[in-house]
Structure 1
Amino acid sequence: MSLRMSRNQKLKINIAITSFVVFVIYCVLMISKNVPISSDKISVEKQYAVASQLPTVPHDGETLEALKTSTSNICKEDIVLRNTDPNHTAAHLDFWRHLNGSTIKVYKRRWQKFIANIRKTPIPIDKLNGRGIVFIAGNRDTVKRTLTTVKLLRNVYDCKLSIEIWHLHDEQPSADVRLSFEELGATFKDLSNPKLVKPIIKRRDADKQFQIKAAAIINSAFKEVLYLDSDNIPLKDPTFLFDLPEYKETGALFWPDYWKTHGENKIFDIMDIDCDNEWEQESGQMVIDKEKSWVPLQLAWYMQKHYEIYFQFLNGDKDTFKYAWKALHSPYHMVEVFPGMAGTETNGRFCGHTILQYVPFADDAEEDDDLIFVHANLLKITDKKHFIRPDGSEHPWDLLKRSSLAHTNTYIKPEFYISNKGQACMDFTHREGEPDAITEDFDQTLTGFQTLYFKNGGIGGETRA
């Protein structure tokens, strides 16, 4: 009996040893399968981890996709949906919902193939030199607004940066207009020049030519570019922006917009990026080091070139830059201060028609945030009759409004509305516990700006018949 028990024990021991060896071999195989085998894969996963505040650990593709999905789900919750652009969303939501996976894969593969080819092409660094400001201006309105800004830069702020004004081939400036800019040290450039890196011949069949912004930046002679919309006015010499640590560390300085991107927008699937509770980009001003940011800048150009596709997801060019940088995991700095508003009061309610942007805030700052750009984006489409005073002067900026908690805060509620006078307006609302907004007198806050603007030929509202 004791001998039989000994044999049974040996058999059990052998079975246990065999099972353990099989288990160890299985574990080794699974670990070797799941450990990243290239530094590229590790760096990509680290960037996902940073973006989503998750620990950086090795995981397989299915786990990574699950982590991305979990962070993307927040974009389908009210914290994001309450801040989406109502007009753009209403126009495209059904399209986003019905777009199938096969179509998404086609457009994802196309931009990825484009970028693969771009990476094989050397950057024309020998043709890039120095720092400068780039504008786009072609029609009479945009040219006149740009001229006012250039006059302020040169004659008031003593800005020494070189300036280029880019236009389409059918928007040639007159000899007098060209001379008025040349006297201020600004040069017109034609985007149709076939010798350019990215020439543009075809005009988009729409009033706004959003698709030319990246091309103008790429084609400019400057290595480092401050891009400005024609209706965007700096409040001081902007040269210092090139020396900010936030820009020097990343090579790209962006500013936020009033909106967030809807969670059902398929741009996240096409670009293979994560959705998060964050503000969109307002691209009326950007600082870009083209050498550091050459590849994502090409992707932004690609998206703008194929505007008939990408502008059904994005509201114009503005987020082609941010999402191009995100898709390629390229560094950029988004200014932390939420934009303010400037405008008037209509029927007892604030009506903002101008975006106010701020300098990136310093950690050791003790004073209020420093304003840097007055972007009159809605002013230019508002009838100027609303701003005429009894003495006949135009005064479009009466009030300035900003959030009392504007730093890295995503719980703010800007709202677009149409006034009873037909004006397009923005305002801060506080119906769900959002922080209060501070309203100030515009002329007391930005002393002398409004007078200088009109003294130098500024255009306020739109002249209508």
Structure 2
Amino acid sequence: MISVISKLQSVNQNQRKIHFRDLTGLGNAARIYKDAFDIYYQISVYQPNVTVKLSIEKELLKLEKKLYPWVINGPMHSSAIEALFNSSGRGIVITTGSKYALVAKHTITMLRLIKSTLPIEIMYCGADDLGTNEFKMLSMLPNVRVVDMRSVLGLKRCEKGWENKPFAVLASRFNQVILIDADALFFQPPEVLFEIPRYKETGTLLFRDRTLPFGTYGRGQNLVNMLMDIAKPFKNQLLYSENRLMRHMTSDEIDSGVVVWNKSKAMPAILLTCLLNSAPFKNHIYSNSWGDKETYWLAHEALRIPFSVASDNGGAIGQLIHSDGADMVCGGLYHADDMDRPLWFNGGIGSRIPAKELGITQVQHWAIERTGANVKWEIATEPFCLHGKLDSPLGVNYSHIGKLTPNELNLARNMTELWVELFQL
């Protein structure tokens, strides 16, 4: 512990700010905080020795205020560890502003239709983000609490994009959180995610993005470089060793439409993810990858905090198209469960703002792939389409196309009918 305190003191005495491109330096500082946090947590929970606790507390909180100031500077908790101890239960967290408030209403209504009973927190940042009318509309939904993140966190300025997502988890009262995009739709109650064995073991569950050729949109190598920098001590022994990125099989690795976190096991990673989605670091991250998606993985690898990743790569759900003797499914990004049954997808059903022409996606078929081999996507126009073979055996080295069951088709019709009801002008 003396060594950890010495490292804390050293980094606290350094007045130089970490440059936003210096992910190696950031990773080093974050690991010092994580090591101290772990010791402080263990002392607080299992060995309540006041003298020992105070010996590390001062320097730990000084570094937290320097690296991750949002909880300490907020009106509710004095530190991240206090926020952790005050969190409890399980729930769903969604971020939205006025623009996509109707989308969030659709998602929540469908969650209740499939018998999800989890409490839901909708997070926003300031009146400029979520207007009064939208606030009232969402507050009227059953078992939903609408929260201005500034009532919990000390945020210097409000953002309105992807960057709010990890902060929403940090601000949440829940100890175990399912963070979902406002347009993520489920075929099964999200509660099933908490029961996945690898989530129970690690306390974190992430989902994979589509397998797109390395270099697509100019992405891939820069993400590799960022990963190697922020997780430099572990670059040859990554936790997620089966990732496609390091084998140059894809340009994007992780999708953040759904993220499951147990704060008791992952709090330092949550804090680092927030920092990676904060200026000035987010400017570097976002210019070399797509939004917040890869930051969850980067944070866990940097701190070597265990996490799990779903077994399927991002697929497609929507309409089956026959073209030039080939089959493909066009629609939203799709994920199946471990039994290859539909679990969730994002992107919604059609136009996410009220319109006369909604461009409704006919949700009837799905396509999945698990190996990253022989994958062909059509991405020139939206929705994206994944080529595959209809009713082919699962586990083969190409994409498999299947059809929704009658019950799943009925649920998809309910999704569509509600979408039309909410968005049709």
2:274 is aligned, of 294, 301, 318, to 301
1:292 aligned onto 2:249: no
Deviation at 1:314, TM superposition (A): 2.0
Using the aligned pairs only, state the percent identity: 16
Would the aligned equivalents of 1:343 and 1:398 in 2 still touch at CA under 8 Å? yes
Q: CA deviation at 1:268?
A: 2.5
| One-letter identity of the residue aligned with 1:131 | R
In structure 2, relative to structure 1, the CA distance for the partners of 1:331 and 1:460 (3 Å cut) is farther
> Contact 2:367/2:388 (CA < 8 Å) preserved in 1?
no
SS in 1 for 2:255: coil
**CA shift for structure 1 position 175:** 4.4
**2:333 counterpart (352, 355, 370):** 355
Q: Distance in 1 between matches of 2:257 and 2:421?
A: 17
Shift in Å, 1:212: 1.0
Change (3 A) 1:341 1:381: same
Matched, 1:450 2:412: yes
Please name the residue that 2:344 is paired with.
Answer: 373
1:63-142 to 2 correspondences below 5 Å: 106-117=22-33, 119=37, 120-121=60-61, 123-124=81-82, 125-140=84-99, 142=100
Aligned to 2:239: none
**What is the distance in 2 between the residues matched to 1:190 and 1:235?**
29
- The answer to whether the 8 Å contact 1:340/1:400 transfers is no
- What residue in structure 2 maps to residue 252 of structure 1? 204
The one of 304, 307, 312 equivalent to 1:337 is 312
Distance 1:165 1:267 in 2: 31
Correspondence 1:232 to 2:197: no
Residues 150 and 103 of structure 1, relative CA distance in 2, 3 Å threshold: closer
- Contact 1:210/1:316 (8 A) holds in 2: yes
Structure 2 spans left out of the alignment, 5+ residues: 5-17, 38-59, 62-79, 237-244, 390-395
Q: Which residue of 1 aligns with 2:366?
A: 401
Q: May I ask how many residue pairs the two structures share in their alignment? A: 334
Q: What residue in structure 2 maps to residue 96 of structure 1? A: none
Deviation at 1:104, TM superposition (A): 8.9
1:264-303 matches, cutoff 5 A: 265=223, 266-271=225-230, 272=232, 273-274=235-236, 276-277=246-247, 280-303=253-276
Q: Which residue matches 2:75?
A: none
1:144 equivalent to 2:108? Answer no
Where does residue 158 of structure 2 map in the other structure? 202
**CA deviation after TM superposition for structure 1 residue 293, in Å:** 0.2
Which residue matches 1:20? none
Does 2:118 align with 1:153?
no
What do residues 190-217 of structure 1 show as CA deviations (whole Å, max 9, x unaligned)? Answer: 1233x42x6362336xxxx111111001
Larger Rg: 1
Residues 273, 295 of structure 2: 8 Å contact kept? yes
Alignment partner of 1:172 out of 108, 130, 138: 130
- Decide whether the 8 Å contact of 2:206 with 2:258 is kept in 1: yes
- Residues 342, 398 of structure 1: 8 Å contact kept: yes
Contact 1:217 1:225 (8 Å CA) reproduced: yes
Pick which of 263-272 and 226-235 moved more.
263-272
Q: Tell me, what secondary structure is at the counterpart of 2:254?
A: coil
**Cα 1:115–1:211 shift into 2, 3 Å:** farther
Deviation at 1:251, TM superposition (A): 0.4
- Which residue identity lines up with residue 296 of structure 2 in the other structure? F
- 1:123–1:445 CA distance, 2 compared to 1 (3 A): same
CA RMSD of aligned residues (A): 3.5
SS of structure 1 residue aligned to 2:163: helix
- The answer on whether the counterparts of 1:132 and 1:162 sit within 8 Å (CA) in structure 2 is yes
Partner of 2:299: 324
CA distance in 2, matches of 1:459, 1:307: 37
| Contact in 1 for aligned 2:92/2:179 (Cα 8 Å) | yes
- TM-score for the superposition, normalised by structure 2: 0.68
How far apart in 2 are the matches of 1:168 and 1:174?
Answer: 13
